[in-house]
Structures are given as C-alpha cells and as structure tokens.
Homo-oligomer: A and B are copies of this chain.
C-alpha cells in the first residue's frame, strides 16, 4: 500500500486525538515537515471546506468536515484490509463502473474505489439507465481480483447488497431489505442498485467491478416520473440528509469485512446474511423472465446465486435472470 498523503495523515490525526486537539508540532513530527509546511496544509484543508480552528498553546481543532468525497477524507483511519487501498474521486464521469473497468484493464491492483459526484451514463442492470444527479447520492465502483472461477463471480452481487444494508443500518438505524438479484429496498422502495461487471477467461477471473448506487440525499422531485419500481432515498426515509462521507466509509468497511469472509469461507456467510435480509422468502412471487413468467413461492438462493421458486406443481425452478415482484 502506498504512503498516505499529508492531508490524509492530518485528518487521521484529528480522528484519533482524545481531546480534539492536534498540535502543529505533532503534525510536523508525524509528517517530517516544517511548521510552515504544516500551516500550508491546514490552509488547504480550510479552502477545501474543513472548519479548523487554531487555539494558541493547544493546537488545531477540527470543528466540522465538509461532506465532500475526497480520497484523504475517505481513507483517513479507514478500517479496511483491501478496499480503499486507492481511492479515485471524480466530480463527474460517464460511469464509475466504466472507469473502474478501465483501471482493471490497465492492471490496477484490487481494492481500488472509484466514486463520482455525478454520472452522465449511470448504468443499471440489463442495459438500463441509473439516475445519477449531482452531489446528492453515492456512485461507487470497487475493483476486486478474487482467485475464483467466472462461475462464482455472480455471488459477489449479494455481497454488495448485504454491505449496503449494513451501512444503511449503521448510518441511519433503518432496516433495509434486499430484492433479488441486485436491489436494496427501504419501505418497499428502491434505495440502492448494484451492477457487477467482470472480465474473465474461461477458468479465471481477471477482475470484478462491484458497482453500487445508493440514493442518499435525493429529493422526491429529483426522481424521474416514470420509474420501473418506486424509489426513495435515505434522506426521504429519515427526514434529514445523511453524510455522504460517513456513509461511504461505513460501506467500504462493510464490503471489506464481507469480502474477507468470502475469500476465507466462500459464499455461505454472504448468502445466509442475504437471505436474512430478504423478506420475500416464503412469499408468493411472480418472476418476469422476458419470454417466460414464473409464479410460485420464493424458496431462497441456490448455491450459485439463482433464485429458487417453487411452483404450484411442486417443481423447483432456478431463475438466473428476471424481475421478481410479490405476486
């Protein structure tokens, strides 16, 4: 892992201090730079929106951080083994998934996170569009290089879904639910969507990109009128905005922990957690598979991630692609 940037180290010192104060001498020693250089970094942080006070003989105090996504702010004190080893924050991009795939093609190491304030071509499943207005939501893509077969890569979609639910719980206390294959719902409305992409050879994965879009602070009037599925945001559900920065950090930590479990124990812990978070299990569902409509009771996930639906004749159908709704 590369050496942290000075800004990252300073923010990290603020997050670790017991009394809220970090002295200029401490920063100077930690970074091996002059007091003048310390002062320049503090000035740059202030210009970036950080409210930092200087109290003579006590040091600097971080009063408030801006809710902007910057590598240093995301990485400072982040408790991750792999995820966030490199963070790339863009003001605007075509699609964070496309960017992460480009990094993947160029040999970037796993753990890279690409976030953007805005996407011009946000991608949903099956070539659909994902609405991506500026600076209210989280659009993130994470590059992984697990030593798995292409067959097993679809399992990682469920990992993202579980991580998003956990991050929503720890940021807001709200209980989100998962919807097969790649949605997260809050009060029955879509709050997050996942789109994994992979590059693979026949018997090995080159890389997987976990694409994650979460409606954080989107207002009702920002949703398009005609939606395939009703949508909401954390702010709408909670009644006030949430910190994009805190949510992002929380999400990356959840993904890191689940990914480690996946590498060590396989998909079972992820699938179990996913099934706990799915309230359609045991309920009557209707699955639209384009040319085929399957009706039955949702029985859970098969070990390859297929949706298991028991039809009226007792037959267990395995669904690999389709839209599921309560019947």
Contacts and interface: CB of A to CB of B under 8 A. Distances in A.
Interface of A: 101, 105, 125-126, 149-151, 153-154, 157, 181-182, 195-204, 206, 304-305, 320-321
Contacts of A202: 125, 153-154, 157, 181-182, 195-196, 305
Contacts of A200: 150, 153, 197-198, 200
Nearest to A198: B200
A294 to B, nearest CB: 15
A251 B305 CA distance: 37
A125 B304 CA distance: 24
A153 to B, nearest CB: 7
A198 B196 contact: no
B149 A150 contact: no
- Looking at A199, A202, A321, the one whose CB has the most chain B CB atoms below 10 A away is A202
At the interface, is chain A mostly helix, strand, loop or mixed? mixed
Contacts of A157: 202
A199 B201 contact: no
A151 B321 contact: no
B201 A149 contact: no
A202 to B, nearest CB: 5
A248 to B, nearest CB: 23
B203 A320 contact: yes
A16 to B, nearest CB: 39
Contacts of A320: 149, 151, 203
Nearest to A306: B151
Contacts of A181: 202-203
Contact of A321 (B196, B199, B204, B304): B204
A197 B203 contact: no
A230 to B, nearest CB: 22
